[in-house]
A and B are shown apart, each in its own frame.
Chain A
Amino acid sequence: MIKENFLAKNSKFYNLISEFSLIAVFIIEVIIFSQLSPYFLTADNLLNVSLQASITAIIAAGMTFVILTAGIDLSVGSLVALSGVIATSLLKIDASAFIVFLIAILGGVLFGVVSGTAAGIFITKFKITPFIVTLALMTIWRGAAFVYTEGRPVWGLPETFSTLGGDRILGVPIPTVIMLLVFISAHIVLTKTKFGRYVYAVGGNLEAARLAGIKTNQILISVYIISGVLSAISGILLASRMNSGQPNAGLMYELDVIAAVVVGGTSLFGGRGTIIGTFIGSMLIAVLRNGLNLINVGSYVQQVIVGAVILLAVLLDQLRK
């Protein structure tokens, strides 16, 4: 018994090791930038990095659930725009009332639920592949955001709204705090709950999961709702930071988000991956962008370097196996 428990602990240790290659890349990155720029390792800059990373990282947490089930959600970027636009336009009803503030945020988030449910139903009931369903939703929501705003940003928002994305709690930016809360909850859900276990099972072997008595459609619909809601939260935070509802916000976010998840070691074939990996993946890319900015690398060259690092990180993961 004691021996077996020891082995159980031991295998957790191995799981940690398996994330090691990623952590190693991350640490090397931090060391290089701290040598190249004296400002890099200051608390100010690190908090800034976390703030910059927070918007896509929150979405990446949701995307991890989706990719673990061997799915994909391309609609997240458009959802960022549409939920931001919905929240900000609701806010304009009565800028002073706190209740409107709440309704605005709930409205944005609720839209995430609607979008996720729609995606989940098309995927499970009508058996259309996730790629196509969410590709279509991506186009529809983006178009809807432009139609709704007639292509103009929603301006003239109350001061209080910008505190959401701009203020700090004990010196830490609110989006960073929200990001940390999202990742901690997501980690607990994935590793400690029945739902989390089912997500891995469904992604690992859908038919075996059904024959093991799991309501697989429920699980699949749920992961798209999670992704939708987290995208909506990000959309509202982004709108707050820009103090406006922009119909073209979040353009191409889906690609950044998928990159963070995959760099974090989650398999696109489903069933394998961790939320901690996604966190490190998100940070790795954010630190890279920040570091390159600090040492004045031009944005064109940055794109090339970021792409190369994504390939390198995934390659290391592949070699480990």
Chain B
Amino acid sequence: MNNLLRMSNITKQYPGVLALDNVSFDLNPGEVHCLVGENGAGKSTLMKILSGAVKKDSGRIFINDKEAEINNPSDSQGLGIGLIYQDFKLVPELSAADNIFLGNELSKKLSLLDKNKMNELAAATIDQLGEKIDPSLPVHKLSIAQKQFVEIAKALRRNVKILAMDEPTAPLTNKEIEILFATIKKLKETGTGIIYISHRLEEIFKIGDRVTVLRDGKSAGTFKLNEVDTRELIRLMVGRELSEEFPHHSTFKGEEILKMENLSGGILKNINLEIYKGEVLGLAGLVGSGRSELVRVIFGADKKESGKIFLNGEELNINSPGDAIESGIGLLTEDRNLYGLFMELNIRKNITISNLNNLLTGIFIDEKKEIENSLQFFQNLKIKAPSTETKVETLSGGNRQKVVLARWLFSNSRVLIFDEPTAGIDIGVKYEIYNLINKLVEDGIGVTVISSDLPELMGVSDRIAVMCNGRITGILNKQEFNQEKILTLATKFLE
């Protein structure tokens, strides 16, 4: 058979971990071969070996049935392999065209750069992908989706035949995802082979031809996508049967806990919304609809221009996150690594940071009391780590999320806002996070969840408020949940 790429029996040992154990993977021309697995399953190690960032211990790699040596990134590029990482590798201050031609610049006489020609060719390449971007704009002015197109165009200009994409849709809106998928289909027609890594299984069924499942560094099998279903894939990824995707919780609409009245500021216009005890309020909307802006205002991270916020009927005067925390509001940010955690500090210090006053004896922190308190949350939330003294940088995504949650519980939060609570978290652990959210609700904490993953949002919420252009365009009760309805409301003021 004529494979574009064949990696056979790849093994890679890191100190203490067998990252890849005899894994084989192949790719045909014009095929989308998906790679799935939980964090730490070996997907990124396999891709790093392909890109030359990491050397394999054993195994062989064939390109067009010829054995290839990949010892460094330039070997990999020379073989027509291109990778698009989740956090793009673009130079923000350079223009789109400069990025596309980075390292392969076109020049005129006297070695002067031929800007016009590069701009022209860059525009043509992007055009061919079905997108329009001004190639002379600096990359930092582009949207995330546009940056991705610049990355793809960069790969195309380098004659990439094997293109690996790591979670390409994570930052994209539904509309942008469709454009991306159309582009992938075009690339397939030109015979490019695509390795597609994603946590979102429904996408894989939409775009993929075959799928390989990795678990704990071993291959759990390669399948044609029309011969497996989601349930089977999850079982292979997790290694056990998951009973149901979303745990059920008993809902009761209790008393009103948080109320927003005519809230405006930034893009937000006249927001009226209540959060009740005993329910999960979901916030739906496209990127830029104002969901994150709304929670940032509630949390005091951004200032409101007008309107009022009430907690348990009392008006709040929130000018900073410190004020919000004192009032009992906690925010679990979308990117917990960037905005939530202190990587250099241990779990204990990350848990107690927002409520150290509770641990003071005179001016000193009572370390014994601190250990006891943090240990309680450490055990209750089942954080998987050797001890409370472990640095958070060594924890997995799910456990990091639990540390942030523990911080707010230790601060006696009565309203918790989850922004994309399961982004970057393994399927097996997602279920645990949903359970924790349910537990919070049962304990009488007001919970709001933002999620771009609509099935997830419909699964965990009791009510969903849909936003568009900074306004609330509709509030749906559980029995009215329906993807189309939500999308219609989410695009009400667009076009």
Contact = CB atoms under 8 A, between A and B. Distances in A.
Interface of A: 1, 4-5, 7-8, 10-11, 192-194, 197, 200-201, 204-205, 207-215, 271-272
Interface in B15-70: none
Given A194-B357, A210-B321, A214-B353, 9 more contacts: A193-B363, A197-B349, A201-B353, A205-B341, A205-B342, A207-B339, A211-B340, A212-B354, A213-B320
Contacts of B349: 197, 200-201
A10 B325 CA distance: 33
A4 B338 CA distance: 29
A213 B363 CA distance: 19
B364 interface: yes
B354 A8 contact: no
Contacts of A194: 356-357, 360, 363, 365
Nearest to A9: B389
A53 to B, nearest CB: 28
Nearest to A196: B365
Question: 9 nearest interchain CB pairs?
Answer: A7-B387, A11-B389, A213-B322, A213-B325, A204-B342, A271-B344, A194-B356, A192-B364, A204-B344
Interface string B367-393: 100010001000000000011111000
Contacts of A207: 338-339
B222 interface: no
Mostly, the A contact residues are helix
Contacts of B412: none
Q: Which of A1, A205, A211, A214 has the most CB of B within 10 A?
A: A211
B301 interface: yes
B109 to A, nearest CB: 41
B267 interface: no
Nearest to B364: A192
Nearest to B352: A197
Most chain A CB within 10 A, of B299, B321, B326, B367, is at: B321
A214 B350 CA distance: 13
Nearest to B301: A211
Contacts of A214: 322, 353
Given A193-B364, A201-B342, A208-B341, A215 B371 contact: no
B371 A5 contact: yes
B343 A211 contact: no
A214 B342 CA distance: 13
B272 interface: no
Interface of B: 299, 301, 320-322, 324-326, 331, 333, 338-346, 348-349, 353-354, 356-357, 360, 363-365, 367, 371, 375, 386-390, 407, 411
A11 B387 contact: yes
Contacts of A11: 346, 387, 389-390
A208 B342 contact: yes
A192 B368 CA distance: 12
A41 B49 CA distance: 55
Contacts of B343: 204-205, 271
Nearest to B386: A7
B457 to A, nearest CB: 23
B348 to A, nearest CB: 8
Contacts of A210: 301, 320-321
Given A197-B349, A213-B354, A271-B342, A4 B321 contact: no
A55 B331 CA distance: 46
A5 B370 CA distance: 11
Contacts of A4: 371, 375, 387-388
Nearest to B408: A212
A11 B346 CA distance: 10
Nearest to A11: B389
Contacts of B342: 200-201, 204-205, 208-209, 271
21 contacts: A4-B387, A7-B387, A8-B348, A192-B364, A193-B363, A197-B353, A200-B344, A200-B349, A201-B342, A201-B345, A205-B341, A208-B341, A211-B321, A211-B339, A212-B321, A212-B325, A212-B407, A213-B322, A214-B322, A271-B343, A271-B345
Contacts of A204: 342-345
Contacts of B333: 211
A201 B343 CA distance: 9
Most buried by A among B324, B341, B356, B411: B356
A8 B371 contact: yes
